Amino acid sequence: MAAPPRPAYVPRRVAVTGVGMMTPVGIGREASWRALLGGENGIGPVTLCESADLESRIAGEVTGFDALDYVDRKEMRRMDRFTHLAIAATAEAIEHSGLDIAAEADEIGCMIGSGIGGMQTLEEQFDVFFHKGPGRVSPFLVPMFIPDMAAGQVSIRFGARGPNYNTVSACASGADAVGSAAEVIRRGDAIAMLAGGAEAAVTRMSIAAFAASRALSCGQNDDPEHASRPFDVKRDGFVLAEGAATLVLEEWDHAEARGATIYAELLSYGQSADAFHITQPSENGEGAARAMRVALRKAGLEPRDIGYVNAHGTSTPLNDKFETMSIKAVFGEDAFGVPVSSTKSMVGHTLGAAGAIESAVTVLSLVDQRIHPTRNVIVPDPECDLDYVTEGARALELEYAMTNSLGFGGHNSSLIFGRVSG
């Protein structure tokens, strides 16, 4: 007997119905967005670890954050800080969306990206191991430091029993989590996903390691306010930071049926690999350009349709130059007319959380019809000659916006969001 014909695959539309953020410029979505529009600095002296002997002694820290506002003391002690931040951002996103997870728990999933995971816990427990012996290592070490645990704990905390995993693709992890979660919804495996990224790697070992790789800013310790300076001729590396953001992604018809406010539509997700070098971007940014082209093709858009690019914009010499070249390659002459800004100029580089935070920023830009500036472009690099919105926040009519994330290992991701009218 012949098998019945398979039903046609009809990709589902993906709505953004909630946003939560924990960043170095604010606790929560509204505080973070207000600070970004105001061009406020989130970089300061390191307080989360001893830094006197480190080459870099500045970072973007989520100041004023108290995990006890989101979890009880017993739970707090069994989670790393990156998980605390993930839970906090997700709690805000769920509240913002009004999604009733308990009513449809089996069809609501969770995907939280993290490039490093619980580095703070790992360093602390290695010290215990080294000085006190293996018998004193915490039984919670593994479930505290593995990168998937933010997704696992968010799922447990909020009762989401649908698809659950985490993405680890260095600085593209958060963007890949958002994009991959959207694909879960498109193929019909979930009606909603809690998607984002979290990182809390402001630790002695992380700072030492990134400094050793010559990726970190080490020459601005006395001037943290101007240390993160994407596209500026004097940029000398990124500023390490921590943070988290979560988007509630929802199948469009489901969101409409429950009367949810839809803040934006996630139109497409493009990926590529440089296949070039473990840390350096491919020559002329051709890998990033391919990811942007894939995203445009899948969205059915032309480069001229994009009204804003939220850049990866790390403040490293190679990234900013090659990302500029990649935008020029994709947009052609239109590249000089599209505004580009770097969130990292204010919050620093939150590694695996960056793509999620920048996705949230892109959504808020569409909602508010304003884009935040790039801070600290004091002496523009002649090779970085696009419109980096250096004069302050800008109001504009914005229909489609793109955000890029580029990670060590040659991981490139590009997301396109669309405005929801009315």
Beta carbons of 104 and 191 less than 8 angstroms apart: yes
Interhelix angle 29-37/354-368, nearest 10 degrees? 80
Nearest partner of 87 among 110, 61, 108, judged by Cα: 110
- Token pair for residue 177? 């989590």
406/281 Cα distance (integer angstroms): 8
204/309 Cα distance (integer angstroms): 33
Return the amino acid letter for 96: H
DSSP strand pairing (340-341 vs 411-419): unpaired
351/349 Cα distance (integer angstroms): 5
Beta carbons of 99 and 260 less than 8 angstroms apart: yes
Residues sharing a CB contact under 8 Å with residue 148, sequence separation 6 or more, in sequence order: 114, 117, 165, 166
Nearest partner of 111 among 294, 329, 331, 266, judged by Cα: 266
Which listed residue (84, 96, 349, 372) is catalytic?
A: 349
- Token pair for residue 161? 């029993």
Which listed residue (84, 254, 312, 372) is catalytic?
A: 312
Which listed residue (84, 96, 110, 171) is catalytic?
A: 171
The question of whether 110 is a catalytic residue gets the answer no
The question of whether 171 is a catalytic residue gets the answer yes
The question of whether 384 is a catalytic residue gets the answer no
- Which residues belong to the active site? 171, 312, 349
